[in-house]
Amino acid sequence: MSETGGSFKIELRGKAWGIESSYFSIAPPTAPVSEKPSEGSAPPKDLSVCYVSDKLIGYYNQLLLELKKAELAGDKEKARVTTERISTLAQETPKGWELCEEAPIDRCQDVELWSSKIAYYKKLSALSDPDLKKETSRSREEIEKTLTELSVGLQKVREQCRAQKEYTVTSAKPLPPSVVEPVKPVAVESGQEISSYYRAYLEKVTNIVSVEDQIKELKTLRGEIDKLVRDLIEGKREIRVSEISGLVTEVQVSRGQIKAGDVVVKTMEKKIIVDVGEEEISIEPTKKGGLIKDKGLEVKVEEVSIKDEILRVGNSEVKVVVSDIVANLEISPTSIELKEENEKAIYSIGVREARKLLGFIPVTITIRIIVNATNGNFLEERLPWYSFLTRK
């Protein structure tokens, strides 16, 4: 994906299904190689469309969120101003089409992708209940519903493929609307699927003349995107923040749930993967808050958020992983907590230390080493209240 003239070129082929094969013994759907056309028939022509950029999607996300909050709060003035801002943004958007680099699409390849996914879900459907539970978190009813929705979607992309084959790139005729029309993804396995649909649908919405109809369509679209984000989180064991960062403004992990934008998923079986500096960590909800896993170390936290792909505790940024701090200090932690104190993100690292009580009784106490989680600087060492009775 490369940014050119304010929008993005998106290579759609072969990247639609981001299923993590390590979780399945049944081979997940992949993008098969297109069959060669029969002799005497011309291969379908490649088509290109112009999609909006991640930056523009971010603007729409933020404005729609502000509008929703204003309406829920009954703030009519705020809602009016936000509506005007959305309208202005929608009017300005088409001006950028002439500057954008077009993205290639191949609806006939989409047919193969949808067919491959149907084959995968049919294999799941044929499993016994115990085997099905091992392979996926989806219920049998959900799988049957998914197969029905995939069949409907497959019919749509087949029609688009036929229209693409009939279309001649060199002709003066405009691109058939039926080919460009975005097909809502089903059983999403990657954020790219949702993002591609979002971009294509936004282009359609910005061409609507009526401001009222624009807002209505944008709200409907936002609702669809939220549902797809929910499906993505519920359908995967691990979700990378980078997959959904362009679809939601913020991701939060707290006691028993993952919150992505307005989407709340109650779970303690999912992991959010995020990069902190050059290191990758996972965050999962627990009964009491969240648990960060970093190279074998576990860090307890009440709640964390990720905004603009930056990890935060409270309002403070976390830019250093605890594994680096532990390695630098050459310590063996017994417990680690991440929290915000005095407007700073800190790691509170418990370490056992051998001492002598009253100068001659051997005891082991736990001291807390406090380190700034933003820059890695040592802040202080905290001792238990009775430490004055001990010595090293």
33 domain-assigned: yes
Whether residues 272 and 308 share a domain: the answer is: yes
pLDDT value for 141: 92
Q: Which of 236, 259, 275 is where one domain is finished?
A: 236
pLDDT value for 52: 67
Whether residues 283 and 317 share a domain: the answer is: yes
pLDDT value for 76: 92
Whether residues 38 and 69 share a domain: the answer is: yes
Asked if residues 306 and 241 have their Cβ atoms less than 8 Å apart, the reply is: yes
Per-position DSSP letters for 108-143, written without gaps between them: HHHHHHHHHHHHHHHHHHTS-HHHHHHH-SS-HHHH
Q: Which of 236, 263, 287 is where one domain is finished?
A: 236
Whether residues 324 and 175 share a domain: the answer is: no
349 domain-assigned: yes
pLDDT value for 16: 31
Helix (H) or strand (E) holding 369: strand 361-372
Whether residues 109 and 185 share a domain: the answer is: yes
Q: Are strands 47-49 and 251-254 parallel, antiparallel or unpaired?
A: unpaired
pLDDT, tens digit only, all 392 positions of the chain: 333 333 323 333 333 333 333 333 444 554 444 444 444 445 555 566 666 677 777 888 888 889 988 998 999 999 999 988 888 887 776 655 555 556 667 888 889 889 999 999 999 999 999 998 888 878 899 999 999 999 999 999 999 888 888 775 555 566 677 777 788 999 888 898 898 888 888 877 877 778 888 888 888 999 999 999 999 998 888 999 999 988 998 999 999 999 999 999 999 989 999 999 999 999 999 999 999 999 999 999 999 999 989 999 999 999 999 999 999 999 999 999 999 999 999 999 999 988 888 777 888 888 999 999 999 999 999 998 887 777 78
pLDDT value for 6: 35
* Cα distances (angstroms) measured from residue 256 to each of 113, 265, 268, 284, 294: 35, 9, 6, 9, 20
pLDDT value for 182: 80
244 domain-assigned: no
Whether residues 55 and 144 share a domain: the answer is: yes
CA torsion sign for 352, 353, 359, 362 is: positive
Whether residues 12 and 114 share a domain: the answer is: yes
CA torsion sign for 344, 349, 350, 354 is: negative
pLDDT value for 181: 79
Asked if residues 251 and 220 have their Cβ atoms less than 8 Å apart, the reply is: no
Per-position DSSP letters for 184-199, written without gaps between them: PPSS--SHHHHHHHHH
pLDDT value for 25: 43
Whether residues 179 and 42 share a domain: the answer is: yes
Question: Which of 150, 141, 134 has the alpha carbon at shortest distance from 26?
Answer: 134
Please give the distance of CA 137 from its chain centroid, rounded to a whole number: 18
Q: What are the residue ranges of helices labelled H in the chain?
A: 54-73, 76-92, 107-125, 129-135, 140-166, 177-180, 191-205, 211-235, 241-244, 322-329
pLDDT value for 108: 86
Whether residues 197 and 86 share a domain: the answer is: yes
Q: What 3-state class would DSSP assign to 374?
A: coil
141 domain-assigned: yes
245 domain-assigned: no
Whether residues 136 and 27 share a domain: the answer is: yes
Expressed as residue numbers, the domain containing 174 is: 2-236
188 domain-assigned: yes
pLDDT value for 313: 97
Q: At 364, list the tokens.
A: 């082991």
Whether residues 79 and 178 share a domain: the answer is: yes
Question: Which of 388, 106, 114, 61 has the alpha carbon at shortest distance from 245?
Answer: 61
pLDDT value for 332: 94
pTM, rounded to two decimals: 0.77
374 domain-assigned: yes
Counting the structural domains of the chain, the total is 2
pLDDT value for 258: 97
Q: At 134, list the tokens.
A: 């091992």
Tally the C-alpha atoms within 13 A of residue 338's C-alpha that lie toward its C-beta.
35
241 domain-assigned: no
pLDDT value for 224: 93
Distance CA 376, CA 317 (A): 12
Whether residues 22 and 132 share a domain: the answer is: yes
Helix (H) or strand (E) holding 292: strand 290-294
CB burial string 290-308: b at 16+ within 10 A, e below? bbbebeebebbbebbbbee
Question: Which of 264, 258, 118, 242 has the alpha carbon at shortest distance from 186?
Answer: 118
Please give the distance of CA 40 from its chain centroid, rounded to a whole number: 45
